Structure 1
Amino acid sequence: MKCLSCRWFAALLTCSAVLADWDSHSKLVAAETTPPFVAGFDRFGRHDEISDVHAGRLLLTELSCTACHAPSGAGLTPKRGPKLDAVGSRANRDWVQRYLMNPQSVKPGTTMPDALAGLPTKKRQEAALALAAFLSEQVQPFPEIRATGANPVPFEFWKHGNAKQGRILYHRIGCVACHAADEDYEVAEMKASPIDAMLEQLDPEEIKELGLLSAARRVESVPHGDLAAKYSHQSLTHFLLKPEAARPAGRMPDFDLKAVDAADIAAWLLSKQTQASTSGDGDEQLVAAGRTLFTSIGCSNCHDIKGLQSQHKAKPLAVLHANAATSCFVAEQQTSGQPFYPLDDVQKQTINAVLASVRENTALADHDSVQLTLLQLNCYACHTRDKLGGVGRFRKAYFETVGHVDIGDEGRLPPALTGVGGKLTTSAMKNVFSGKGRIRPHMFVRMPGFPSRLLEPLPTLFAKTDQIANPLAADAVFKVQKSDRLVAAGRALMDSGCVQCHSFSGEALPGTVGTDLRGMAARVHPQWFHDFLLNPGKLKARTRMPTFFPNGESQNKDILEGDTEQQIAAMWAYLSDLNRQPLPEKILKARAQDYELTPTKRPIVLRTFMQRAGTHAIAVGFPQKVHYAFDAETLSLSEAWRGRFVDAEGTWFVRAAPPAKPLGETVIPLPSGVVLAALPNSGAAWPTDAEAANAKFSGYRLDARGVPTMLYEIGGVTVEDRIEPLELQGLKRTLTLVRRQPDSQSSTLWLRPLTGASLTKVGEASYRNETGLAVEVAVNGGSVKGESRRNEGVSEWLVSVDVAEQSVIEVRYSW
């Protein structure tokens, strides 16, 4: 094949035959391609719901026009494309080549222009081949994912994704706010909001007359493209774990997924994949030609590869004109060497309209900067601000609550951002933007995290825009000196209504579903707190929060003489000191009921739902004040703790209660997954679940003292798993193994008693991990044959067990 060199490429661009071939090609592209999809523009800009200046700036940044055409003012930072340092590890080479040949046909709606638009078909093919060869050589090892107690990382976790679970996660955590949902996915029936119910009854003309077109309009989805052709299971899983590593522009945010969750979602998205990813062929001449093209035609203006600088220069944005002789988005005006954007007429008109304001170098006001940022990051897909945006009418059904509790749109949809600068402190906003500080455990949807550099100015801009650049301190707002009497009064006032809807430091009345008031004083400004309590509806339209001070008058005359200002100050004083104060009286009384299970003479066995042990949890509590939870679905000893056992109120009486939590203070996570498995050798991957381990739960039996023995089968071996307290407040686990057909299979099983980010050997047959959990093993009363290994960031201790007929394993846990 002919080498693609700079000299060859320069000659190619001046060839008259190329120009003639380009003319027919450009007309074909213009006729067959869809315009680039920019979520904020397609939802609002097309319908005149934002100004032309905002819509045009949005297109200029999201199409990365300003990556080539240098802007002269602020607010025009280009989105740019993905980092390509490791694209050879991430993307299928065949997909890359097809994508470069015709981006819009491979991914309709992509914001990537046709960078090879100036080449005839044959030369386009050669250029795409060379670029794909070069890019396929850009490989890096995938990052090591370290396991923790809360984030188990099975060996080669990306291979074991559960597509069924991934489908559920995809539709629950917020992916469908931007991306299309599966038409066959079923959601729980929810009562329609008043506006949605009204829209169902109105015809199009009536909707238009009432100004409800935006609320009624279907929100289009950000396209996925052919993920199965682009990614491998490993590369998509790692991308979902840390999107910013590949896409620093942050348009795909970080949902703080666990390794197994990312693998599950990847399995769902790639469930129709029929081919594996291909790699480069190592043709040095072809790779060198691709490297030259990458810089000469401007790829490096938008994409980073270490060591490569762009050689492609374009006119500054300020000197561009709508009636220019050539353009990147008018097919008839194209010249060789220009990228081509197949914009539609509305997009062209919008960009042309904004060029005048750009030339005038008009600075953006603070509120305009806020709106542009929210449009760029598509925050409006979930949130409303100043009557703009919010979850689309036909997407609301996917925003479900735990237990499908009906608490209205306010309780299940992301909160409005109207006036948020007057509500949240800057530190609280920074936590929210990074994906931290979640205070709505009753919602499945998650607030994702965004790169901090993108949102660094936003808290200050919110504060300025919402007129609270210099917020008042609590002393200036309440004008009441804090005292023990004031704090006690605040606690009493919490009992008069707040406890009916809110939790306090994770504690709540049975059936309560609402935000936790822990940290309230650090999250919100004192003035907002004061004004909201006085008149909730004024600050938050259609809120379910009742007013306890109608017309500014307190309804409780028995506390602080009914003085409204003092009562509000008292509530603030109590909440600001909540970590050191007793919980509200009603919560303490509810905890004192018989629903808290306290083993005294015999163990207590409770079938329940738990966060770590799942929906098939068996919680076992002992009088010795050491307890454990067993997951009957995955056949794993999930966690152990000391102190108080569990509260059965939610399990017994509350239909939509959150998962039961251990009440003890010392909760230790234990290795996830089955404890025993039949492996071909010590280097084989540990099975991810009971099904992969060929394991089946058979129930449990109680002995005369009430101690349960779990019964299950693994690979033709029946297992009796008895767990009881140790003298030193640990646990002793006795596993009795009997092979049903001794000659039918190998007699060796493997035991995995401990995992962790790191393991330390503390004895001949004992190890300790980073959480402080120490495990000691004995097999048939004698020594053990074991080894520690490290795979995919997880340290595991494996012990071989010879099960000729019957074996007894004793495992001791201490922490």
Structure 2
Amino acid sequence: MLHRTLILMSLLFLASPAVWGAEDAQKGYSTPEAAAADPDFALQGEYLGAEVGVQVIALGQGKFQVVTYRGGLPGAGWNGALKQTTEEDTQELKQTIGDLQLKKTTRKSPTLGAKPPEGAVVLFDGTPETLKKRWRDGARLAADKTLEQGVTSVDTFQDFSIHIEFRTPYMPLARGQGRGNSGLYYQGRYETQMLDSFGLEGKDNECGGIYSIKNPDVNMCLPPLAWQTYDADFTAARFDKDGKKIANARVTVRHNGVLIHEDVELPRITTAAPNQESADAGPIYLQDHGNPVRYRNIWVLPRDAKQEARRPVVPAFERFHASATGENVAGGRLLLTELNCTVCHAAPEALANSLIRRPGPVLDQIGQRARPEWLQAYLADPHGVKPGTAMPDLLRGLPEAERAPAARALAHLLASTGTLAEKSSDLQAFGRGKTLFHQVGCVACHAPREGASVPTQSSIPLGDLSAKYSITSLATFLENPHVARPSGRMPRLVSNPQEALDLANYLVGPVEVKPRNPNWKFKVYHGSWNNVPDYDKIKPVKEGESAGFNLGVAGRGNEFGMRFEGYLKAEKGGEYTFHLGSDDGSKLFIDGKKVADSDGIHPHTVNSGKVRLEPGMHQVRVDYAQVGGEATLSLELEGPGLARQDANGRIFLTEQGPRPPSAEEAAKEFRVDPSLVEQGKGLFVSLGCANCHGLTLDGKPLAPKLQAKPLANLAANRGCLAAQAPTAARPPVPAYDLNASQRAALATAVAAGAAVADTRSQIERTMESFNCYTCHARGGVGGPDRSHNPLFLTTIQEMGDEGRVPPPLDGVGDKLRDDWLQQVLNEGAKDRPYMLTRMPKFAAPEVSQLAPAFVKADRAAESPAVPLPESEIRAKAQGRFLAGDKALGCIKCHTFGGHQTPGIRGLDLQTMTRRVREDWFHRYMVDPPRYRPGTRMPTAFPEGKATVRDVYEGDPSKQLAALWSWLKDADKAGLPEGLVGNVIELRPDARPVIYRNFIEGLSARGIAVGYPERVNLAWDANKLALTLAWHGRFIDAGKHWEGRGPGFQGPLGDHLIRVEDQVPLAVLEDNKAPWPAKSPRELGWRFKGYELDPAGRPHFRYVSDQLSVEDVPVPVPNKTDAWFRRTLTIKGAKEVPGLYFRGAVGKIEPQANGEYLVNGLYKIRLPGGGQPILREVNGQQELLLPVTLNQGQATVVQEIDW
């Protein structure tokens, strides 16, 4: 097969005049029947192979352009990046088709044949009647009853949706703009290009392009002579009364059912447009460019863009269902769920069980969350106050005179549930909140506020948050949104209360709260002082009134000072005690005299002072200075007849006492009216509020009373589904302001009844309801759309999309462990530190049920477990080697606990086995692209063969089993080679090396010993125990010898075993008594140091009141790895009854040769005589050896072999 990679544009546009004459370039065919005369026509088109899509473009005279796409065809599997272009002749093309086992495919637009909805203007249906009635003079029918190019509609339009089907001719010898050229002009002003651009790049002057303004997001052009569709939503430019343009036109376009332009702004008309831009409506114009382009099934649905903006925005519906044609049952069921239709209209049991639950917000404490003024305005006009809300207008169905009073009564009811706490904004928190909002995932569902813009229909509206919330109330909601919204549609993204407060500061915006009942006058000073300065000598930067010590008005968190002045009313004369607390410094003055002093830089500290006061008013002044860190200020008092209490309750703004509110303040203040509360209760249940919302008053929930028609009895064009909600109906009909697409989808779903109850549909419905598809793709559906994609950010740009975009969920039930999958869905996760978007906490049972659904849908049959090729401890060593920089190099791209890689920092290897399944891991490692197309993860086993040939003779299964075994140790696993730089390796080449420092796994008095026999140990001087042993490399001193030397250092070598954690000698009542749990010191043992023998080996010594012990481990060389023979010499002045040596703890298996296998890792031998006792005490096995002193001495020999 010959492949000559060419530049596509030069191939299609730079044809030589010597080869292609002008006459040949114009030759083409306008029908498939005519084109069949050219043998190339049968070969051109689209093909599919194994994970590949191919487009074959006929260039004439047996030449073809072949474009190969990795993953599938454009709009159907191609990842948008990997693509190859070649030129081939007929013979080469046929060979390519055979070699790649390609099958020809014929794609059809899903909107082909779409029927005009109610209210649509049918411009052309193939009949002479529509041709004559709807098109200006000169319009012509082709022989096959299609519409020819170069026509203008009689009807003119403002805002509209249009469906048009078109067919470009087959012109193999033509190039560029001469190859099947026409165009769809909205209002005769703005063009979406029509062209045979099959297989091209997708430019603004090619098919699907908005001419000279924007390229299509993807080139969805089908082969010539295939019927194609445009489905477009057009919003006309807006002009003021003087004819000045105040808003550009906008358009959304789907080409063959695929979104290629979303809410694109059209700043100017197309150059060749027949009409100039104005406020006037305009026609549909189909351009004539000299090529036989044909059209059919053209209809236009006039729409009111302003009214459409009021519709409930359900992002998954807008993205996947809003432009659906025919029976849009899936979209309708989504709306049944998200608009909560079945809480009023009872659904048949089968249908109800298939819908995802969405209870409305709980209103028990709504008065603490939302401003009463906002509540009243929102209830009166929910779609005007918050366009896009799913909340219906319940009051529009009332007689007009009743609407405003009803909104007022309901607002008083809701306001009676609590009082909103106010807080002034913090500029530093505002900046942090801005960063959080645009990084952690908020903008996946909500439109970004600065910089990038996204189409409004793809984002859940927020409305005017500053009108609804205070900073405090929004922060409380964000910290735990599920309390107020149990549906889980609003997940928790913040990780702590401070983040919630930061986000609230940003979302509410700068707020200077004017307190309703101020009791202090304040002055703010900017500067840094170690002690409270004399503010009389400093000019304040700000002055005002506050309720309590409001430090937030300073406008900064550090380096500021404040003075608070007010009046204290002493009801009785006598001695008063004041308690002044602050972080940092503060001073209290009463009647000009200093009473308490908490000056200086310190954490919150309280100092007290006493003063005698006469009855009456006394001037109070508190001076405060903040340097850095926490900023706090408090004042308490106690005195005659007064227990200790917050002084703010007795401080007033003026010497005359509380200041009455001004007439203006009184008029603005919302005061709950008990009589209106009672009216609101009645309306709450009669209007249907209680059907959606929980509201408990005085411990009693308000029960719903509204009973609407059952869902199955609803008419498709009446009630909630009517184009205009009826007014003055009883009971009132809620107005959702649904658009035509939503009404049609709901009507279809109601008529269709129950959904198919299978696992796949359950997953799809859940992911749509919870907007999972905005971040994650699954089954070729979803993932960030083009407008949202740039909003996903990373700290490591080199990782590409894998480092930015949340992973696809294809096969997730096969990949992840059941417990981890459940944890991620229930609690959220942040295992990709480089990915700034977080997995939120949904806390909804329907999301939790995704875990078993994913498993059922995805889980592959378990392959037989691969047995370890040798003992587990040795397999771990090989796994550790494989992960290092001299083998597979896993640590070159993956972090390992706290150890960072110098380049890309992928997922932490220590978390691998708690996240993914072993069976999946084995399959994935052999072929990563199969499971994650386009991944940067290299294939360590190309074509199933190992690249490391000297481990297990290159057997991939054995290597992966060893790697998994090492990974299972997680944070206890030995460090792979090449992970730590600046290694200062201690090498015991000729004599043992002793390293006394902080050893990982031991107490602070660890002693590590490396022997020339390449076997090592770590002995714990606190526990008097030989704790660790390992083979190979000894230890890295770099951590402790460089810098300040913090932390514990682990061994460098392999085959690490843990031998004992406690002194191995104890006195027991009998051989059934439990081993002492007390520390060696509590048992009377004392470490006496160690001595070195002539070979440099340490002899460890420790004593008790009765005994002295010498513990001498000596390496014994072996064919493979050395082992230890440990000799304990025990001396005492007299016999010690009940003395035992504990030789092993854990799972102990006696072997035929007298050895004991411990925890499946190492063997213990006790060759020094005596009968060992294998016992089980307190749920664990122990190997004991009785010790008897003979003439004041006993010897215990323990051999440790692994």
TM-score scaled by length of structure 1: 0.61
Aligned: 1:134 with 2:413: yes
Q: CA deviation at 1:42?
A: 0.7
Aligned: 1:492 with 2:881: yes
Aligned: 1:242 with 2:469: no
Q: CA deviation at 1:451?
A: 0.7
The equivalent residue for 2:436 is 169
Aligned: 1:42 with 2:436: no
The equivalent residue for 1:505 is 897
Instruction: Give CA deviations for 1:254-297 in whole Å, capped at 9, x if unaligned.
Output: 01332222222111111155777987523111110001110111
- Of 695, 709, 713 in structure 2, the residue corresponding to residue 319 of structure 1 is 713
The equivalent residue for 1:220 is 458
Q: CA deviation at 1:377?
A: 0.6
Q: 1:512 to 1:332 in 2, by over 3 A?
A: closer
- Of 357, 380, 383 in structure 2, the residue corresponding to residue 101 of structure 1 is 380
Q: CA deviation at 1:218?
A: 9.0
- Of 541, 555, 565 in structure 1, the residue corresponding to residue 947 of structure 2 is 555
- Of 1031, 1047, 1070 in structure 2, the residue corresponding to residue 664 of structure 1 is 1047
The one-letter code sitting in structure 1 at the alignment partner of 2:401 is K
The equivalent residue for 1:110 is 389
Structure having greater relative contact order (Cα 8 Å, sep ≥ 6): 1
Q: CA deviation at 1:379?
A: 0.8
Q: CA deviation at 1:540?
A: 0.8
Matched residue SS, 1:69 = coil
Instruction: Trace 1:29-428 onto structure 2 (pairs within 5 A).
Output: 31=307, 34-48=310-324, 52-71=328-347, 72-73=349-350, 74-139=353-418, 162-184=429-451, 220-271=458-509, 280-306=670-696, 307-323=701-717, 325-331=718-724, 335-336=729-730, 337-358=732-753, 361-402=754-795, 404-428=796-820
Taking the aligned partners of 1:646 and 1:351, their CA distance within structure 2 comes to 72
The equivalent residue for 1:568 is 960
Q: CA deviation at 1:220?
A: 2.1
Cα pair 1:165 1:265 within 8 Å, conserved:
yes
The one-letter code sitting in structure 2 at the alignment partner of 1:440 is R
Taking the aligned partners of 1:436 and 1:271, their CA distance within structure 2 comes to 28
Matched residue SS, 2:310 = coil
Matched residue SS, 1:350 = helix
Taking the aligned partners of 1:417 and 1:508, their CA distance within structure 2 comes to 27
Cα pair 1:36 1:341 within 8 Å, conserved:
yes
Cα pair 1:91 1:230 within 8 Å, conserved:
yes
Taking the aligned partners of 1:161 and 1:240, their CA distance within structure 2 comes to 19
Q: 1:274 to 1:295 in 2, by over 3 A?
A: farther
The one-letter code sitting in structure 1 at the alignment partner of 2:703 is Q
Q: CA deviation at 1:357?
A: 2.5
Cα pair 1:503 1:516 within 8 Å, conserved:
yes
* Aligned residue pair count: 533
Taking the aligned partners of 1:272 and 1:141, their CA distance within structure 2 comes to 17
Q: 1:262 to 1:231 in 2, by over 3 A?
A: same
Instruction: Trace 1:725-736 onto structure 2 (pairs within 5 A).
Output: none
Q: 1:562 to 1:665 in 2, by over 3 A?
A: closer
Q: 1:217 to 1:89 in 2, by over 3 A?
A: closer
Q: 1:158 to 1:647 in 2, by over 3 A?
A: farther
Instruction: Give CA deviations for 1:764-795 in whole Å, capped at 9, x if unaligned.
Output: xxxxxxxxxxxxxxxxxxxxxxxxxxxxxxxx
Cα pair 2:723 2:740 within 8 Å, conserved:
no
Taking the aligned partners of 2:384 and 2:326, their CA distance within structure 1 comes to 30
Instruction: Give CA deviations for 1:579-632 in whole Å, capped at 9, x if unaligned.
Output: 3321101114555599xxxxxxxxxxxxxxxxxxxxxxxxxxxxxxxxxxxxxx
The equivalent residue for 1:584 is 976
Instruction: Give CA deviations for 1:676-709 in whole Å, capped at 9, x if unaligned.
Output: xxxxxxxxxxxxxxxxxxxxxxxxxxxxxxxxxx
Cα pair 1:93 1:279 within 8 Å, conserved:
no
Q: 1:340 to 1:108 in 2, by over 3 A?
A: same
Taking the aligned partners of 1:51 and 1:518, their CA distance within structure 2 comes to 50
The equivalent residue for 1:616 is none
Q: CA deviation at 1:242?
A: 1.0
The one-letter code sitting in structure 2 at the alignment partner of 1:493 is L
Q: CA deviation at 1:526?
A: 1.7
Instruction: Trace 1:428-443 onto structure 2 (pairs within 5 A).
Output: 428-443=820-835
Matched residue SS, 1:585 = coil
Q: 1:219 to 1:230 in 2, by over 3 A?
A: closer
Taking the aligned partners of 2:455 and 2:400, their CA distance within structure 1 comes to 40
Unmatched tracts of structure 2, length 5 or more: 1-302, 517-667, 987-1037, 1050-1202
* % identical aligned pairs: 37
Q: 1:348 to 1:156 in 2, by over 3 A?
A: closer
In angstroms, what is the RMSD of aligned CA positions?
Answer: 3.4
Q: 1:453 to 1:267 in 2, by over 3 A?
A: same
- Of 507, 523, 527 in structure 1, the residue corresponding to residue 915 of structure 2 is 523
The one-letter code sitting in structure 1 at the alignment partner of 2:872 is S
Q: CA deviation at 1:454?
A: 3.0
Matched residue SS, 2:332 = helix
Q: CA deviation at 1:387?
A: 1.4
Q: CA deviation at 1:662?
A: 10
TM-score scaled by length of structure 2: 0.42
Q: CA deviation at 1:130?
A: 0.2
Whose Rg is larger? 2
Cα pair 1:382 1:390 within 8 Å, conserved:
yes
Taking the aligned partners of 2:1040 and 2:441, their CA distance within structure 1 comes to 34
Q: 1:571 to 1:33 in 2, by over 3 A?
A: closer
Cα pair 2:340 2:692 within 8 Å, conserved:
yes
The one-letter code sitting in structure 1 at the alignment partner of 2:771 is N
Taking the aligned partners of 1:156 and 1:30, their CA distance within structure 2 comes to 36
Matched residue SS, 2:979 = helix
The one-letter code sitting in structure 2 at the alignment partner of 1:368 is S
Taking the aligned partners of 2:406 and 2:882, their CA distance within structure 1 comes to 73
The one-letter code sitting in structure 1 at the alignment partner of 2:439 is R
The one-letter code sitting in structure 1 at the alignment partner of 2:496 is K
Cα pair 1:477 1:526 within 8 Å, conserved:
no
